[in-house]
Amino acid sequence: MSNNRVSRRQFLGYTLTGVGGFMAAGMLMPMVRFAVDPVLQQKGTGDFVLTDQRVEDITEEPVRVDFTFEQTDAWYVSEVTNSAWVYREGDILIALSPVCKHLGCTVNWAGDPEQPTQFYCPCHAGRYEKNGLNVPGTPPLGPLDQYAVEEQDGFVAIGAVGPNTLV
Ligand code: FES
């Protein structure tokens, strides 16, 4: 038998230290993960999302192409559906963002019967030329953004969105 007995005072000290450490770890873990998680995330830039729109069906008339992808916000993963207005100029595919540069409504191709060759924003009658250039005298102050776009196995694939390079 050992004579190393734990006193009541020592036992209480060990117990409180253990419980305190456990509680501190419980509080610190989410904070550490919150701080470190963005660093460990893989960036999706340069990735293309495959759509079900056949390239052979794309004409010079813009068509709306919807695409869905997974978006990770910290540790919450959700499915997001976006759309692009896609048309061709010769062999080149062009994809424009439908988000109005005034206050963010969704623009439609030929949405105004009096302007059948322009994009139209129904919120405040904003208008854009086919290449996304905002029409002077209408509310938007900048051109529509442009998506990277490419063909993958005969289908349209949409990439990252950026400034309009056509205007
Ligand atoms: S939001 Fe498009 S014109 Fe105002």
Kindly list the domain boundaries of the chain, sorted by start residue.
1-40, 49-162
d(CA 99, ligand 1 centre) in Å:
9
Query: Ligand 1: does its nearest atom lie under 6 Å from the Cβ of 124?
Result: yes
- State mean pLDDT over 98-107: 97
Query: Ligand 1: does its nearest atom lie under 6 Å from the Cβ of 126?
Result: yes
Fold classification of 49-162 is Rieske Iron-sulfur Protein (2.102.10)
Cβ neighbours, 10 Å, residue 96: 26
Per-residue pLDDT of 117-166, as tens digits, reads 999 999 999 999 999 999 999 999 999 999 999 999 999 999 999 999 99
Query: Ligand 1: does its nearest atom lie under 6 Å from the Cβ of 100?
Result: yes
Query: Ligand 1: does its nearest atom lie under 6 Å from the Cβ of 105?
Result: yes
pTM above 0.75, yes or no: no
d(CA 107, ligand 1 centre) in Å:
8
pLDDT band at 33 (very low <50, low <70, confident <90, very high): confident
- The dihedral region occupied by 137, where left means phi > 0, alpha psi between -120 and 50, and beta the remainder, is left
Distances (CA, A) of 137 to 7, 108, 146: 86, 18, 22
Q: Are 118 and 130 in contact (CB under 8 A)?
A: yes
Work out which ligand 1 atom sits closest to the CA atom of 126: 3
pLDDT band at 73 (very low <50, low <70, confident <90, very high): confident
133 or 43, higher pLDDT: 133
pLDDT of residue 5: 82
Work out which ligand 1 atom sits closest to the CA atom of 107: 2
Q: Output the CA angle 62-64-66, nearest 5 degrees.
A: 150
pLDDT of residue 40: 53
Query: Ligand 1: does its nearest atom lie under 6 Å from the Cβ of 121?
Result: yes
Query: Ligand 1: does its nearest atom lie under 6 Å from the Cβ of 140?
Result: yes
